[in-house]
A = this chain, B = another copy of it.
């Protein structure tokens, strides 16, 4: 409702029709199709240039036009309370799909911003949706991505309302580890592309708390922290601390 500021830091794919250089989607698992169909899909994709740290892919309230897949780098998405408070709703690594919350809405419900130099693929939604009508496989994949987003957010709700600060940080690190491993990187040694501030915001904690827990975990020989470099010394114990471990042989706690 307020006047839209001109987002000088916004990225907009120039819609030049030089769609010859078939974009290589190497390293991106979403939307894998047999060659013939893959070709149709690639015809609608736009590759972004390298976006430097701090660039917005889109702002909350911008008209929803496309979804994006991260090729390299990291993104965060966040909403802003009308009280001006920011809440980070997710971090996105290569191969992950961003902006699904905009589907079925005329505007983006969140902003998306790069945490480091990042490149993305832009999938203009209208053509993508038409294609999805022709290619059942593609439809399934889009819808699956959305389903996963819903499940991830439900997990996050659980974290935010039931877990202690320690469990939150442990969960965060553990899940990062799993994601990195999936992408072929080390599960135990990696670099955090987000600041402590961003971590704390995402986890619903104060920066100081996250900092303290990092050092506490270090003292407990759970992890080794050196600035943004993290080494996980015991994935198992970290998982235990996270509170997600399945335990107690039988606890069919029926709510009533």
List chain A positions with a Cβ less than 8 A from chain B. Answer: 1-2, 5, 54, 78-87, 89, 100-105, 109-110, 113, 129-130, 132-133, 136, 139-140, 142-151, 153-158, 160-162, 201, 203-204, 243-253, 255-256
B243 touches A81 (CB 8 A): yes
A69 vs chain B, min Cβ distance (A): 16
10 A-B pairs with least C-beta separation: A104-B144, A161-B204, A104-B147, A103-B147, A160-B160, A153-B153, A101-B150, A87-B158, A146-B146, A82-B246
A162 touches B243 (CB 8 A): no
Residues of B within 8 A of A79 (CB): 154-155, 158
Q: How many copies of this chain does the complex contain?
A: 2
Residues of B within 8 A of A110 (CB): 154
Residues of B within 8 A of A147 (CB): 100-105, 146
A219 vs chain B, min Cβ distance (A): 24
Q: Which chain B residue shows the least CB distance to A149? A: B150
